[in-house]
C-alpha cells in the first residue's frame, strides 16, 4: 500500500491543471510579450489566469503578480514594505516566532540591516491573538507579517482581526497564505490584507509558480530586475503554462473548498483520535483552529527520522520536525515555539492529508504508526528511563 | 538517490543485538536526548573477551544502524580489539554515512569505549584515562535549525 500523507510539503498536480498547462508548452508556446497574435494568445491566457486568481481572492486582476512561488512572494512583499518603511524612518516589523523560513530568514536579513523585529509568542496552541499585535505596534512599525496558517502544525491565525488592527493603525499587513490558499476561505478585502503570498504546488498546481497579491496603492519593489513583465515589478519571461495551471488548480480548490474541507477534516479527526490512543503522545497545535488536512504529533521517547524511515518502509510518506530529518541539530523552531522541549520535539510526526486520501489510508496509518512507535520505544534507552521512573514523562 | 546505503538500511531495519544485558559487566551511555540521540551499550566480558554485547538507541536511522554495526564488530573480540574500533571503521563497515550523520558513528565508538571504561572502573582495573573520550554537552545545540517545507 502507498499512502501519500505529506500534502503540506507538496501536492500531486491535478489532471485538470496538467491538461490546462500542456497547450502552453506545446502548440501555444509564444512569448506573452510578443506583438504578433501568436504571442498574444499566451498573453491572453496569462491575463485570464490573473483574473481567475483575483476572483478567488476577492482582489482585482491588477493586484495580482505572478512569481516563482511562495518564497519569492514572501521575500518581495517583506522587502518592499521594509524599503517603504526605511524611507519614512520606520524600521520596526512585527511577525511571529513560527513563520516559514522564507519569512524568518528575510526578516533576519533586515535585522542585519538595522531593522528591529518583534517575534510574537504563539502560545502552546500555536495561535497569536490580535491583542498581541495591538500591543506590539509602535510609532515606527512599518509592517506586520503573520502567516495565515502554519505549515507544520496547521494552526489558523486570526487574520481578519489582525488585518483590521493594522488598517486602523495604518501599518502594512502581509500574510503568508501558502498553506491556506485553496484550503481556507480568503477575501483580501474583508480580511484587510495588504499583501498575500501563495504557491501553486500546495493546492495541486505545479512547483515553481506562485502569486503575490498587492493591494492597489501599496508600493511594490522589484526583487528581480530586467524586462517589463508583471507591470515592471517582476522581470522574466512569464511561466505561462505554470501560471495557467496555478489558476486552474486554485479555481478548482476554491470551487470545492467546502466539500473538500468536510471530507478531509473527517479523515483528519479520525487520525487524531486514533493517534491520541498511543500513550504519551500529544497533538501539536490547537485542536479546532487547524487546517482540514493537518495532523502533527509528538511521541515521547523516540526520534522522528527513524519513525519516518520505517513509515516509508510501510509505504507511508510523512514529515517530521526532528533535527535529524534535515541535517541540522535543532528540532523544528515551530515545535520549540509552542513550548515543546527539544527531547520531545525530536519525536514529532506530521501527516498532511488532502481530498485524494481515503479512509483506507487512515486505517493503514493507524495500523503502522502505533506499531512502529512501540517498536522504536522498545529499543530506546530514553523510553526505558521514562517507564522506570528515572526520568519524568513530559507528555 | 537513496538517503543511506543498503547496509545502513539493513542494520536499521533489522538491527543486531538490540536489548539489554541485565547482568552486564560494563555499561556505557553516550549522547544527549536534547540533541536527538542516545546510545547505550552493554558488555559481557570473560577472560578479556567480549562474549556478549547488546545496545539500546534513541536516535535516527544512522544512529541505530551505527550501534548495530558496532555491536557486530566487537562481539567475540578482545577488549583491546574493541577499543581499536574507530568511528571510521564503523562508517566503512556501513558502506558510508552522509556527512551530517558522521557523528552517529562517533557516538558508536564512544559507546564502546564508555562501556569498557565502566568495566575497568567496576573491577578496579588500572587504565590510561587519556585513551577515553571526555563526555561533554553537545556544543552545537542551538546553532542550527530544522527546515521543513
Ligand atoms: C508557509 C509556507 N511559506 C512559504 C513556503 C515556500 O513556498 P515555495 O516552496 O513555493 O517557495 C512554504 C512551502 O514550502 C510554506 O509552507
Among protein residues, the one whose CA lies closest to atom 4 of ligand 1:
A70
Among protein residues, the one whose CA lies closest to atom 9 of ligand 1:
A70
Domain boundaries, chain B: 6-147
| CA-based nearest residue to A353, from A269, A258, A255 | A269
B81: phi then psi, degrees, rounded to nearest 5: -65, -40
User: Long-range contacts made by residues A121-124, C-beta under 8 angstroms, separation at least 24?
Assistant: A121/A97, A121/A337, A122/A96, A122/A97, A122/A98, A122/A155, A122/A337, A122/A338, A123/A338, A124/A338, A124/A339
A70 Cα–ligand 1 center, Å: 5
Mean pLDDT for A138-144 is 98
CA dihedral B17→B18→B23→B29, nearest 10 degrees, is 110
pLDDT at A325: 66
pLDDT in tens, chain B (149 residues): 578 999 999 999 999 999 999 999 999 999 988 888 999 999 999 999 999 999 999 999 999 999 999 999 999 999 999 999 999 999 999 999 998 899 999 999 999 999 999 999 999 999 988 888 776 555 444 333 333 44
Q: Kindly list the residues of chain B whose beta carbon comes within 8 Å of any beta carbon in chain A.
A: 3, 9, 12-13, 15, 18-20, 29, 33-40, 56-61, 63-64, 98, 100-101, 138, 140-149
pLDDT at B33: 86
pLDDT band at A118 (very low <50, low <70, confident <90, very high): very high
Surface of A (194-223) touching B: CB under 8 A: none
Extended beta strands in A272-321, E state: 281-283, 294-299, 316-317
pLDDT at B145: 34
Count how many Cα atoms sit within 13 Å of the Cα of residue A109 in the half-sphere of its side chain: 11
Q: Which CATH number fits domain B6-147: 3.30.360.10, 3.90.1330.10, 3.90.1010.10, 3.30.565.10?
A: 3.90.1010.10
A284: phi then psi, degrees, rounded to nearest 5: -95, 130
Average pLDDT value for chain A: 97
CB-CB contact of A280 with A257 (8 Å): no
pLDDT at A327: 58
- The DSSP secondary structure of A145-211, one letter per residue, reads E--SB-TTT-BBP-HHHHHHHHHHHT-EEEEE-TTTTTTS---TTTTT-SEEEEEGGGTTS-TT-EE
- The DSSP secondary structure of A99-131, one letter per residue, reads --HHHHHHHHHHHHTT-EEEEE--TTTT---HH
Instruction: Report the residue from A9, A151, A306 with minimal CB separation from B59.
Output: A306
Do B56 and A301 count as a contact with CB atoms less than 8 A apart? no
pLDDT tens sequence across A80-115? 999 999 999 999 999 999 999 999 999 999 999 999
A55 Cβ neighbours under 8 A, 6+ residues apart: A251
Least confident of A327-341, A349-363, B13-27, B62-76: A327-341
CB-CB contact of A69 with A210 (8 Å): yes
Mean pLDDT for A277-294 is 98
Strands A92-96 and A141-145: parallel
Check residue A314 and report its DSSP letter.
T
Mean pLDDT for A25-31 is 96
Mean pLDDT for A287-304 is 97
Residues of chain A positioned with their CB less than 8 A from the CB of B35: 323, 329, 342
pLDDT at B130: 84
Our CA angle for A41, A72, A24, nearest 5°, is 20
Global pTM?
Answer: 0.94
Q: Give the rounded percent of residues in chain A with a pLDDT score beyond 70.
A: 99
Mean pLDDT for A274-302 is 98
A246 Cα–ligand 1 center, Å: 15
Do B36 and A152 count as a contact with CB atoms less than 8 A apart? no
pLDDT band at A223 (very low <50, low <70, confident <90, very high): very high
Q: Which atom number of ligand 1 is nearest to the Cα of residue A102?
A: 4
pLDDT tens sequence across A51-74? 999 999 999 999 999 999 999 999
- The DSSP secondary structure of A61-90, one letter per residue, reads GGGEEEESSHHHHHHHHHHHHHHHHHHTT-
pLDDT at B100: 87
Amino acid at each position: 500500500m502507498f499512502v501519500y500523507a505529506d500534502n503540506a510539503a507538496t501536492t500531486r498536480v491535478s489532471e485538470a491543471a496538467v491538461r490546462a498547462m500542456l497547450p502552453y508548452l506545446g502548440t501555444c508556446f509564444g512569448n506573452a510579450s510578443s506583438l504578433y497574435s501568436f504571442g498574444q494568445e499566451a498573453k491572453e491566457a496569462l491575463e485570464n489566469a490573473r483574473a481567475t486568481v483575483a476572483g478567488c481572492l476577492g482582489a482585482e486582476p491588477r493586484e495580482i503578480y505572478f512569481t516563482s512561488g511562495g518564497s519569492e512572494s514572501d521575500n518581495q512583499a517583506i522587502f518592499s514594505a521594509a524599503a517603504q518603511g526605511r524611507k519614512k524612518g520606520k524600521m520596526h516589523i512585527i511577525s511571529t516566532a513560527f513563520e516559514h523560513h522564507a519569512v524568518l530568514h528575510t526578516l533576519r536579513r533586515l535585522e542585519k540591516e538595522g531593522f528591529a523585529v518583534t517575534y510574537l509568542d504563539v502560545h502552546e496552541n500555536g495561535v497569536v491573538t490580535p491583542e498581541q499585535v495591538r500591543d506590539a505596534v509602535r510609532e515606527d512599525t512599518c509592517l506586520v507579517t503573520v502567516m495565515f496558517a502554519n505549515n507544520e502544525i496547521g494552526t489558523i491565525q486570526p487574520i481578519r482581526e489582525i488585518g483590521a488592527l493594522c488598517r486602523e493603525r495604518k501599518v502594512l499587513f502581509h500574510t503568508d497564505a501558502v498553506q491556506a490558499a485553496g484550503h481556507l476561505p480568503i477575501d483580501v478585502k474583508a480580511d484587510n490584507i495588504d499583501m498575500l503570498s501563495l504557491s501553486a504546488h500546495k493546492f495541486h498546481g505545479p512547483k515553481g509558480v506562485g502569486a503575490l497579491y498587492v493591494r492597489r496603492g501599496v508600493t511594490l519593489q522589484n526583487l528581480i530586475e530586467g524586462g517589463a513583465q508583471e507591470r515592471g515589478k517582476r522581470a522574466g519571461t512569464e511561466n505561462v503554462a505554470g501560471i495557467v495551471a496555478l489558476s486552474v488548480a486554485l479555481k478548482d480548490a476554491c470551487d470545492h473548498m467546502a466539500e473538500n474541507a468536510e471530507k478531509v477534516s473527517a479523515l483528519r479527526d479520525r487520525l487524531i483520535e486514533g493517534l491520541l490512543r498511543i500513550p504519551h503522545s500529544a497533538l501539536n497545535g490547537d485542536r479546532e483552529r487547524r487546517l482540514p488536512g493537518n495532523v502533527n504529533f509528538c511521541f515521547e521517547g523516540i526520534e522522528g527520522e527513524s519513525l519516518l524511515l520505517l513509515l516509508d518502509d510501510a509505504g507511508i510518506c510523512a514529515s517530521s520536525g526532528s533535527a535529524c530529518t534535515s541535517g541540522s541539530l535543532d528540532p523544528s523552531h515551530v515545535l520549540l515555539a509552542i513550548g515543546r522541549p527539544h527531547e520531545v520535539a525530536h519525536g514529532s510526526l506530521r501527516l498532511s492529508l488532502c481530498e485524494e486520501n481515503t479512509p483506507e489510508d487512515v486505517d493503514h496509518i493507524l495500523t503502522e504508526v502505533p506499531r512502529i512507535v512501540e517498536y522504536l520505544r522498545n529499543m530506546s534507552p530514553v523510553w526505558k528511563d521514562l517507564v522506570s521512573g528515572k526520568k519524568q514523562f513530559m507528555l | 538517490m537513496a538517503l543511506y546505503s543498503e547496509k545502513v538500511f539493513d542494520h536499521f531495519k533489522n538491527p543486531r543485538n538490540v536489548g539489554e544485558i541485565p547482568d552486564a559487566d560494563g555499561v556505557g551511555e553516550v549522547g544527549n536526548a536534547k540533541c536527538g540521540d542516545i546510545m547505550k551499550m552493554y558488555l559481557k566480558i570473560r577472560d578479556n573477551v567480549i562474549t556478549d554485547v547488546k545496545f539500546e538507541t534513541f536516535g535516527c536511522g544512522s544512529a541505530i544502524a551505527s550501534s548495530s554495526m558496532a555491536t557486530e564488530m566487537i562481539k567475540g573480540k578482545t577488549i583491546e580489539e574493541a577499543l581499536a574500533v574507530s568511528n571510521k571503521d564503523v562508517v566503512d563497515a556501513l558502506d558510508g554515512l552522509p556527512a551530517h550523520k558522521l557523528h552517529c558513528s562517533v557516538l558508536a565508538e564512544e559507546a564502546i569505549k564508555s562501556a569498557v571504561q565502566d568495566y575497568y572502573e567496576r573491577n578496579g582495573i588500572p587504565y590510561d584515562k587519556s585513551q577515553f573520550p571526555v563526555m561533554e554537552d553537545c556544543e552545537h545545540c542551538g546553532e542550527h535549525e530544522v527546515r521543513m517545507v
